[in-house]
Amino acid sequence: MVKIAPSILSADFSRLGEEVRRVESAGADWVHVDVMDGMFVPNLTFGPTVIKHVRPYTQLPFDVHLMIVKPERYLKQFAEAGADLITVHVEASDQVRQSLDTVHVLGKGAGLSVNPETAFERAVPYLEQLELLLVMSVRPGFGGQSFMPDVMPKVREACRLKEENGYRYEIEVDGGINRHTAKICVEAGASVLVAGNALFGLADMGAEMSIWKGYEKVNSGNAL
């Protein structure tokens, strides 16, 4: 069954602790934490100190998505703040392999993300090392953007390579996920869905997530 990782980018930042509690009681699987530096993306959010303060409010794994330049500078701080999975962007540094290794040395799951305009081939050399492959379905930086269906071939290809080679990574899609686009992602082979706007506005986030969890992969037999 697909896992759901609500993005606290769409939460009420004045009540972040209560918001992650709400996510947990609604039945979410992970908490998705969007870290932005105003350089890699044109927006700023928060850093390790905020994560450390929110961490005690839930038992759910923290899936920390680093949209920052040269993330290798901060991996230790995010690990110490309570991240369980740490994802770096393939476009953000020339030290991708070292960063993934560092995340493992810190005892955390290593994720790699690809922007919509980045060729999937850029991620292929690292697939064997990953616990998580994050396929961006919007240009990172802001919640509430429209889903880009043309990234779905990356999801199908990631699925094919995983099955062929016995890789262990989850395939996560992030950006513009709602009831309709969630189905498209799961049918293509996504195993984790990130969603901000489509969930946080709802009084009953759990009911919506149950619908998404009913979707199943469709085996097209065609990778691309």
Which residue from 2, 3, 4, 7 is in contact with ligand DX5, where contact means CB under 6 A? 7
Asked if 197 touches ligand DX5 (CB under 6 A), the answer is: yes
To the query of whether residue 34 is one of the catalytic residues in this protein, the response is yes
**CA distances (Å), 54 to each of 101, 149, 156, 180, in order?**
26, 33, 35, 31
- Quick one: which segment of 6-14, 82-90, 97-105, 114-122 binds ligand DX5 (CB under 6 A)? 6-14
Asked if 65 touches ligand DX5 (CB under 6 A), the answer is: yes
Instruction: Give me the catalytic one of 29, 34, 37, 63.
Output: 34
- Taking the complex as a whole, the smallest distance from the CB of residue 59 to ligand DX5 amounts, in Å, to 21
- Quick one: which segment of 73-81, 117-125, 149-157, 192-200 binds ligand DX5 (CB under 6 A)? 192-200
To the query of whether residue 174 is one of the catalytic residues in this protein, the response is yes
Asked if 63 touches ligand DX5 (CB under 6 A), the answer is: no
- Taking the complex as a whole, the smallest distance from the CB of residue 115 to ligand DX5 amounts, in Å, to 10
Asked if 176 touches ligand DX5 (CB under 6 A), the answer is: yes
Residues that bind ligand DX5 (CB under 6 A): 7, 9-10, 32, 34, 65, 138, 140-141, 143-145, 174-177, 194-198
